[in-house]
């Protein structure tokens, strides 16, 4: 009976082995994963793709997801703070962490831009910021 239980426990998935790059302690995830994508061939070249192939892929697809890379927030028990990291999965159950640079947030999907949606017009943005409703007075400049 006990040998069967031990075999079952071995089959269970193990926790991700993500450790603090500064202190070496285990990090607890406190956010969802924000997957990364790219629209520039230079980013693909930095990840080992050839120049011509990178240009062809970007020209064909426009946007390419970067597999095995994402942004995620972790809680470090040693320094008692939350930090955002750029996580790269290098091999099975091995991860490389780098503090997330500001420009990398432009490549994350599912992130709300602080400047707002660029496809929204100025009128709509102004109406969304209003705290009170003026009704027909808002449209006095039209017509």
pTM, two decimals, is 0.68
Give the pLDDT score at 117.
Answer: 73
Q: Read off the pLDDT of residues 60-105 as tens digits, 9 standing for 90 and up.
A: 998 899 999 999 999 998 888 999 999 999 888 789 999 998 888 8
Contacts of 139 (CB under 8 A, 6+ apart): none
The structure tokens listed for 104 are: 């990398």
- Asked if residues 122 and 128 have their Cβ atoms less than 8 Å apart, the reply is no
């Amino acid at each position: 009976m006990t040998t069967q239980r031990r075999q079952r426990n071995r089959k269970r998935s193990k926790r991700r082995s993500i450790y603090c790059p500064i202190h070496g302690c285990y990090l607890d995830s406190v956010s969802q994963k924000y997957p990364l994508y790219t629209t520039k061939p230079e980013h693909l070249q930095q990840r080992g793709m050839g120049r011509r192939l990178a240009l062809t892929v970007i020209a064909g697809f426009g946007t390419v997801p970067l597999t095995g890379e994402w942004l995620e927030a972790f809680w470090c028990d040693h320094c008692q703070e939350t930090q955002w990291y750029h996580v790269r999965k290098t091999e099975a159950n091995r991860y490389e962490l780098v503090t997330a640079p500001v420009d990398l947030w432009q490549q994350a999907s599912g992130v709300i831009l602080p400047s707002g949606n660029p496809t929204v017009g100025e009128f709509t943005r102004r109406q969304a910021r209003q705290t009170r409703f003026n009704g027909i007075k808002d449209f006095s400049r039209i017509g």
